[in-house]
Amino acid sequence: MKHTISLFITLSAFWLLNSGHYSLLILSLGFASIILILVIAHKMDVIDQESQPLHLTPDIFGYSAWLIKEVVLSNISVVKHIWLKDKSISPTLTTIKISQQTDMGKLIYANSITLTPGTVAIDLVKDEIIVHALVDKDIETLNAGEMDRRVTRLER
Amino acid sequence: MDTVITISSGFFILVGCFLCFSGGVGLLRFPDFYTRMHAVGVTDTLGAGMILIGLMFISSDILVFAKLVMILLLTLLIGPTTSHVLAKAAYHNGLMPKALNKLKKNNDKEANSSTL
Amino acid sequence: MLIAATLAIFVTMILAIVRGITGPTLYDRILAVNMFGTKTVLLIALLGFVMGRPEFLDIAIVYALINFISVIGVLRYSDTDQFNHTPPQNEQTEKER
């Protein structure tokens, strides 16, 4: 029930912000389409804590702020390597261990790796991620595990 | 106040343009597919983000602001998903990074033509 | 300044198209086309502000979604044997069935 209400609020906000017209006819049409989508989603059985991760909400903002800082720093380093010669890059392909237990934690970790330029998560096999990195040093920072610790803290 | 808004929005937009242009140059300069993917990552995250934040400063309307935030969130959601799917498809169809090709002493052309 | 930004994005799109035409493997081409799409979203947003018509942002949102779906749609083919005659992971899944 909690997740249905959250999906309803999200869809209503999306409709109201995109529409910009607030006459009765338009609003009722919007309401009808939101109800239709909720019914379809119920039949598909996709409304659960995986599609609406409400239990993460309190901690996700702190993590996002830290992630934005990381993204800015790694962007600067990748741009530096673009303008330097080819020889400054050292592409690597390795597997790294992850310590998360839940699927959601693994997903957040792999997605954060991909969102940071310079490292891309290619595949996830059980508790290992195959990572391609532009520079050796990025793998070392991932192995040092600050991101890993933060995601694990988020998971609880 | 007006000049502050104009200057800050101009700063954000110009930095974003420089990042996007660098990403385009990286797309041409880097040696193989996996490294080019990192160059595209630059334009997708911070390049687009900077330009959209710059536009947010000069948006006149709250609805326009909300739509810009929506585009930013969509870009940040879509970017990693596409690059991951692309990398996974390339990896599973046998396209190896150049660094490994050197180690295994495979011919580059063979590795590439087998995927086509 | 907005016009300069539009021109810069335009040049970036040309660079992406060059990579799309030359780019040796299939995946380079898909990557270039995807980048071309995301840059188009930015171009539409910027053009909306240049022309003083922020309604263009609606089109930008729709374009972002279409671009995402088209790339995912193309790459769905790589799971089946449309690109390769004998992809290894495909045989495995058939055996599991």
Q: Which of B74, B22, B73 is nearest to B47 (CA)?
A: B22
What is residue C68's predicted lDDT score, i.e. its pLDDT? 86
* pLDDT tens for each residue of B28-86: 888 888 888 888 888 888 888 899 999 998 888 888 888 899 899 888 888 888 888 88
CB A77 within 8 A of CB A83: no
Does position B114 have pLDDT exceeding 60, yes or no?
no
B24 contacts chain A (CB < 8 A): no
Residue of B nearest to A118 (CA): B38
Query: pTM for this one?
Result: 0.82
Does position A34 have pLDDT exceeding 90, yes or no?
yes
Q: Which of A39, A53, A44 is nearest to A6 (CA)?
A: A53
Give B1→chain A minimum CA distance, Å: 27
Bigger pLDDT: A100 vs B23: B23
Please name the residues in contact with C32: beta carbons below 8 A apart, sequence gap of 6 or more.
B27, C16, C17, C19, C20, C23
Residue of B nearest to A20 (CA): B63
What is residue C79's predicted lDDT score, i.e. its pLDDT? 62
Give B7→chain A minimum CA distance, Å: 21
Bigger pLDDT: A50 vs A11: A11
Does position C95 have pLDDT exceeding 60, yes or no?
no
If pLDDT is split at 50, 70 and 90, which confidence band does A33 have? very high
Choose among B36, B61, B75: nearest Cβ to C54.
B61
Three state DSSP letters for chain B: CHHHHHHHHHHHHHHHHHHHHHHHHHHHHCCCHHHHHHHHHHHHHHHHHHHHHHHHHCCCCHHHHHHHHHHHHHHHHHHHHHHHHHHHHHHHCCCCCHHHHHHHCCCHHHHHHHHC
Bigger pLDDT: A135 vs B105: A135
* pLDDT tens for each residue of C28-84: 888 898 899 889 999 999 998 888 887 888 899 999 889 888 888 877 776 654 555
Does position C87 have pLDDT exceeding 60, yes or no?
no
CB contact under 8 A, B115 and C83: yes
Does position C88 have pLDDT exceeding 60, yes or no?
no
ipTM over 0.90? The verdict is no
Residue of B nearest to A119 (CA): B38
What is residue B112's predicted lDDT score, i.e. its pLDDT? 47
Does position A35 have pLDDT exceeding 80, yes or no?
yes
CB contact under 8 A, A117 and B83: no
Mean pLDDT across the stretch A135-142? 81
What is residue B99's predicted lDDT score, i.e. its pLDDT? 60
Does position A147 have pLDDT exceeding 60, yes or no?
yes
